[in-house]
Amino acid sequence: MNGKMIGAIIILVLLLVLAGVIYLACRKISRTVKGYSRMIFGTENVREGVQKMEMEYATTPKSVSSATGLYLPGIMKDFPEFHLEEMKSRAQNVLTSYLRGIDGGNSHMLTEGTRELRDKLDMRISMLRNAEIREHYERIKVHRIEIHKYRKDKGRSSIVFQASAEHIHYQEQNGAVVKGRKDRLEQAKYNVEVSYIQDVELVENTSDMGLAMVCPNCGAPLPSLGAKTCAYCDSPVVELNIKAWNFTDVEMVEK
């Protein structure tokens, strides 16, 4: 056996050893990956695991930052006739109708809200139309809605509700989907703000939403949010109750 043949055999043996080492390493890596996949996803197939995780993420509702227990006593002190469940229902309707207004390209679909909120919706619809984009919200469902914040400033009281919602959300341009997916749900969180102003007519006819609350007879500032009579002219203040709360903003805070 000549030297060339011996050299060829040695090279062949080395290649076989290297192939064996690579094979064993690949098997070890595969077992390790499957082990981690089983531990994380509950399946050895990584692709199936990722798809399972994406599906769980798409169908698991977002948690809301609830401070209802913290703020409700103060709200009830300021507004004894405040109805939490009715206001939550209204906030839910405003949120869903706002999203449907975007989907339908029509701000008149908004069930209620200030001119400020309607202008915001009109502006979004106009921007989408100018960009020749259709934005869709389908299968809208609100899972939970709670009080997130309560603040009083310059005669205006505002409650921010935070809602956990799901929907199919995507954008189309020239018939093609350019953002989002048509076949998968999306979980999101929204803030819905509602404000209390003493005179609804003033709010509707004034662009300044930071109005101070004043007596409708003499114009003097009211001493407190729940005042029944004016401290200066003793005129009765008509309590507008639930109708005095107007929705001023809808904003997505997290997908």
189-234 confidence digits (pLDDT tens): 999 999 987 544 444 434 444 344 555 566 565 555 455 677 777 7
pLDDT of residue 174: 92
Phi then psi dihedrals of residue 213, to 5 deg: -85, 125
pLDDT of residue 201: 47
Each residue's pLDDT tens digit, 8-39: 667 776 777 777 778 777 777 777 766 665 66
What's the chain's average pLDDT?
80
The torsion defined by the Cα of 30, 52, 66 and 148, in degrees rounded to 10, comes to 100
β-strand pairing of 186-196 with 134-153: unpaired
Confidence of residue 2 (pLDDT cuts 50, 70, 90): low
- Over residues 39-58, mean pLDDT: 59
pLDDT of residue 205: 38
Burial 69-83 (b: 16+ CB within 10 A, else e): eebbeebeeebeebe
- Over residues 169-183, mean pLDDT: 94
- Over residues 164-186, mean pLDDT: 94
**What are the CB-based long-range contacts (under 8 Å, 24+) for 58-63?**
58/184, 58/185, 58/186, 58/187, 59/166, 59/185, 59/187, 60/187, 61/143, 61/144, 61/164, 61/166, 61/187, 62/143, 62/164, 62/187, 62/188, 62/189, 62/254, 63/164
Structure tokens at 3: 């030297």
Each residue's pLDDT tens digit, 233-244: 776 655 443 347
